[in-house]
Structure 1
Amino acid sequence: MLLAFIPTLIALIDILKSRFNQNDKLVWIVVVLFFNLIGAIMYFTIGRKQKIKVELEK
């Protein structure tokens, strides 16, 4: 059971640290919380591509 919780926790941390368009962040948080392991897998396969890339200034 703890093994299923780890990907969910990692996905939530990644979602909270990242920037998304409009309400995408809230949608992904809800998906990961309600569907746990399946939601985390969905986020890692689909959601990470939706993140806004932030360019670092030099």
Structure 2
Amino acid sequence: MGSMFNGILGLVILALDIWAILSVIKSNAETGIKVLWILLIVLLPVIGLIIWALMGPRGTVKL
């Protein structure tokens, strides 16, 4: 049961990381800043996601 929870948690973190990367790409930040944010999110998935949520650039999402 524990491995199933870990797998689901991993998928949730992966989905949130992808969402954060797409948001960074759509933001109005400079290219260098975008690259740094994407590297942070990719290299440190959980910590990078938290830092991005607190301080990162946001894209304009149209629904």
1:56 match: none
- In the TM superposition, structure 1's runs of 4+ consecutive aligned residues that sit over 2 Å from their partners are none
Equivalence for 1:38: 47
Q: Give the whole-Å Cα distance in 1 for the aligned partners of 2:24 and 2:31.
A: 13
Indicate the RMSD between aligned Cα atoms, in angstroms: 1.5
User: Any gaps of 5 or more consecutive residues in structure 1?
Assistant: 52-58
Shift of 1:21: 3.4
The count of aligned residue pairs is: 49
SS in 2 for 1:23: helix
2:20 corresponds in structure 1 to: 11
| Larger helix percent | 2
Question: TM-score with structure 1 length normalisation?
Answer: 0.71
State the AA in 1 paired with 2:21.
L
Percent of residue pairs bearing the same amino acid type = 22
Distance in 2 separating the partners of 1:14 and 1:4: 15
Q: Give the residue type in structure 1 aligned to 2:46.
A: L
TM-score by length of 2: 0.66
